[in-house]
Structures are given as C-alpha cells and as structure tokens.
Amino acid sequence: MEFFQGFTVTWAADGPVADLSEEAVRAGWGFIGQVPPAVEQFNAVHRGDGLRQQWLYNQVKGVTNAAGMPLAADATDTLWLAIKSKLDLKQDGLGFMPVQQGGGVGQGNNKVFIGWSGSTLQAQVESTNLGSFVFAGRQFTAGAGLTGGGTLGADRVIAMGTPSAITAGSQNAAGGTTHTHAFNVQLQEMGGTLPLNKGGTGATTVGQARSNLGLDPFAAIADAMMSENGFMELVNGINSFRFIIQWGVATVPADSSLRISWPKPFPTACLNAFSCLGFIFSTTGDAGCSIRDLDANGGTLLQGTATPGIVRYFAIGY
C-alpha cells in the first residue's frame, strides 16, 4: 500500500478491536501492566489514531473537492489554493471593492455608516448622526461684486463683476455683480509750471495759478465765510467805495452785557447790526438779546437769560 493511500485506509478496519474506556485511554499502556496487550487492545490504540487522521484528511479533501482541486501526493499547496479560490469568489460575488474603515493617520477605528435617506447621502459615526454630506444640494454663492456660483454638482467659476463707472461721488463699495472705487484726486504743488494759466502765463505755485485765473477774490470770500468771526468787502469798480458785511459770536454773562470789537473796523461807520441767542433758553422765563452803542470799532451785546450763553451778531457798514 502506498503512503498516500494510507489516509483512506484505517488500521484494523476488518480486524478485532477492543472497546477502550476513557479511563483506559487516559492511562495509556499502564492500564495493561506488565502483560503484553491483546490483539484487540493493540488494534484499538492504532485504529483510534487512524480514525483521527482520516477525519482530518476528509476535512481537507472536502475543501479541495469543493474547489475542484483533488488532493495529490506530490502537491503540498492544494489546500491553500482551494481556500484562496473560495476567497476570490467571495470578492467577485460582492460586485465592488471593499474599503478599509479607519486606521489611517489621525483616524480612529470608529464604525462609519453611509446610506441614502431617500433624498440625500448621509453619514453617521457610531451613534453620532452627521446628517447630509456637505455637497448634497449645497449652493456656492458669489459674494457682493462677483458673478458665478451654483451647486457643487459641477465645476464652477467665480469671477469679478464688471466695475461701474467712477464719478466724483464714487465710494469704495461692492453690490450685486459690480463694484466701485472712491475718487480721491487732489491737485498737488509740482515743480515746474502748473497746468493752470491765464493768457498763456504759467505759475509755479497754487497761489500764483489762482491769481493768474482771477480767483483771489472768490478764495478770500470762501475763506472768510468758513469762520465763525469774519467779514466780506464789496468794492465798486474804481475802488472808491467799500461796503463791509461782518459777523461773529461771543459768550455774554447771564443777565448782562459785553462790549465786542468788529472783526475789521469800519473805515467810516457802522450802519446797522442785529443779534440772536445761540443756545436753548426758556421762552417764558427768559428775556431776549440785543446789540447797541454801535460805532466803527464795535458794539455792546446784551442778553437777559439766567445763564451765560452764546450770542451771534451781524453788522453792516462802510
């Protein structure tokens, strides 16, 4: 009988075999003592070993036969190939490639659930529901002054909108699909000739350029009218008469008077003047105000309230 055939033939399969108790098996040859074992006893020991080997052989043979790979004496990898073929069939039966869950750098080994809710793809980690994925139906909206956007279901482009025309009143702002910028350009003094001239005469300073254009009187009026205390002169064509308008403000003590001087003395006389209170007062318990004792150099302000306050005045003369 060949070696490999021994896996299919059991010792004493056709001979007498004793029925050994568990106690005898556990005791081994000691249960016989010094007496040689009987044939039945010897067969029982070797037959037990053979039955166990045959059982293991049948287990291996069952796997290889199921894979269509019969066992052979000269093949030592049949069991591995049979098991591998079954595993490959299991992978093919899935219809997809499994992905390992967790275990990467910075990742835990938590169980992750991904499923379809009927309208969106949702995720859950262990018992924590994360809801719909961020890209599910989300909109990518262009901000103020930009165009483009849409859902994340396709490639999107965000572009700068067409800028609006810049005007003198433009401000730094963005809205809708456009934007504007503030317009802040000031005339600076420059070395050389300014681009302001009259009759071809250039200027190297702003003051010269303003004078060349005949703007000095207007600049003087503007400067005077922007101050709390000031005056303005109106001169006739031959410079023989000057009409002067003056204004100012002063704090007058309560129920008292204050002598003030005009911002510019009148060369000849003060023709008239009037005043008014420049603060809140009681219309039933306080008196008003006035100006008197007018002359070319000034006048006297009076106010009849219970607290000191501002009095504004206006005077004309020549």
What are the pLDDT digits (tens) for 103-115? 888 888 888 888 8
Q: What is the pLDDT of residue 185?
A: 64
Residues spanned by the domain of 28: 4-75
Which CA distances in Å does 103 have to 99, 114, 125, 135?
11, 18, 14, 25
Kindly report the CATH number assigned to the domain that includes residue 257. Answer: 2.60.40.3940
* CA–CA gap between residue 276 and residue 288 (Å, rounded): 8
Read off the pLDDT of each residue in 83-110 and give the average, rounded to a whole number: 80
Spatial distance between the Cα atoms of 242 and 296, rounded to a whole number of angstroms: 14
What span, in angstroms and rounded, lies between the C-alpha atoms of 227 and 247? 9
pLDDT at 237 over 80: no
Confidence (pLDDT) at 200: 52
> What CA dihedral angle connects 25, 27, 33 and 35, to 10 degrees?
20
Question: Does 9 or 209 have the greater pLDDT score?
Answer: 9
- Is 161 a domain residue? no
Most confident of 68-72, 91-95, 249-253: 249-253
175 inside domain: no
Of 50, 40, 14, nearest to 32 by C-alpha is 40
Question: Percent of the chain at pLDDT above 90?
Answer: 25
- Looking at per-residue confidence, does 264 or 6 come out higher? 264
Is residue 119 situated within a structural domain? no
Alpha helices in 192-290 (DSSP H): 206-212, 216-225
Tell me if residue 171 falls in helix, strand or coil.
Answer: coil
130 inside domain:
no
Q: Is residue 70 part of a domain?
A: yes
Q: Where among 12, 46, 75 does a domain terminate?
A: 75
Lowest mean pLDDT among 76-80, 128-132, 209-213, 278-282: 209-213
Average pLDDT value over all residues in the chain: 82
pLDDT digits (tens, 9 = 90+) for 146-188: 887 777 666 778 887 788 888 877 888 887 788 888 877 664 5
Domain boundary among 47, 75, 103: 75
Higher pLDDT, 185 or 38: 38
User: What mean pLDDT comes out for the span 13-29?
Assistant: 86
Q: Rounded to an integer, what distance in angstroms lies between the CA atom of residue 205 and that of residue 190?
A: 8
pLDDT: which is higher, 262 or 89: 262
pTM: 0.34
pLDDT in tens, 260-311: 999 999 999 999 999 999 888 877 777 789 999 999 999 999 998 888 999 9
What pLDDT was estimated at residue 198?
Answer: 46
- Asked, for residue 197, whether it belongs to a domain, the answer is no
Query: Domain boundary residue among 49, 75, 101?
Result: 75
Number of domains composing the chain:
2
Q: For 52-65, how does the pLDDT look when each residue is reduced to its tens digit (9 = 90+)?
A: 888 998 999 899 99
Q: Pick the closest to residue 183 from 196, 200, 165, 201 (CA basis).
A: 165
Is there a domain that residue 160 lies in? Answer: no
Angle value at C-alpha 256, between 253 and 262, nearest 5 degrees = 75
* Residue 177 counted as domain residue: no
pLDDT at 138: 67
